[in-house]
Structure formats: C-alpha cells, structure tokens
Amino acid sequence: MASLNPFHLAVPVNDLAKARKFYTDTLSFKEGRNDIHWVDYDFFGHQFVIHEDKSHQPNPDAFSMVDGHEVPVPHFGVVLEWKSFHEFAKHLQEKNIEFVIEPYIRFEGKPGEQATMFFKDPSGNALEFKSFKDMNQIFAK
C-alpha cells in the first residue's frame, strides 16, 4: 500500500470540555495546539480538530444498513493495522465505551473482510474504526 499524506478533519462539538475529556482521557489521543474554542489532536498520525459549536446536534436517527447493522451516518475514523485495531478495541472496552456496534468481523471470508466498531463522542458524532485482514483488499469488490 502506498504511503498516504495525513488528512485534516475538523468536527463540531457542543461541549468542548466534555469532548476534550473524551478524546484526551478516554481515547488517549495526544493533544496539540488549542484555544478556548478548539483543540487539535494526533489522530493516528492525522490532524483532527474539535471546534465548539454549542448548537451542534447530529441526527441520532440517521443510519444506513450494512451487513445487517444500522451504521450511523455520517461517521469518520481511521483504518488501522489488524493488531492495532484489536489493541484499540481492547482499550475502548477497558474504558467502558458504549458501542453503537460492538467490535466484530464484517464480510467474513469474503473480499474486503474487515474488523469494525462504531461509537459516538459526547456530542453525538459517530466514529468508526476498522481494519482489513488483508490491507490489499481495502477497495475490493
């Protein structure tokens, strides 16, 4: 797989203090620069920013059916290496994360077999972390 440039993603949060505690303490992401209205994070080598918007209210009922599960949309996250995914899932379970979709293997035995999990931050933003058993099948049909 080719080397990728880091992406930059900024998302709204309706309570900066709660979101900061979640991303810093629960997910254990390293903080970068910050201000009274935003915080930068190292998101597995990518630049992730939470911006306070007190009016932010995602639609809790928005989902798409995938592999028999109601996947929240929109969502974001990172594709991790297989071992890293399982280590991160264990970390989240130890932190008592409330999963929308518990870690499991999707499309088992088929092209694009992957581990996946979904959860939400305190502002209702949905996150998905996944890993492909064979990273060469990330775009497999």
pLDDT at 68: 92
What is the per-residue pLDDT across 24-58, written as a single tens digit (0 to 9) for each? 999 999 999 999 999 999 999 999 999 999 999 99
Sorted by where each begins, the domain ranges of the chain are: 8-137
Provide the pLDDT confidence category of residue 2 given band limits of 50, 70 and 90: low
Q: Say which residues have a Cβ less than 8 Å from residue 118's Cβ, sequence separation at least 6.
A: 71, 72, 75, 99, 100, 101, 126, 127, 128
What is the per-residue pLDDT across 113-130, written as a single tens digit (0 to 9) for each? 999 999 999 999 999 999
pLDDT at 117: 98
What's the pTM?
0.93
d(CA 114, CA 128): 12
Kindly state which CATH superfamily the domain 8-137 is placed in: 2,3-Dihydroxybiphenyl 1,2-Dioxygenase, domain 1 (3.10.180.10)
Q: What is the 3-state secondary structure (H, E, C) of 63-127?
A: EEEECCEEEECCEECCECCHHHHHHHHHHHHHCCCCEEEEEEEECCCCCCCEEEEEEECCCCCEE
Least confident of 6-10, 21-25, 57-61, 127-131: 57-61
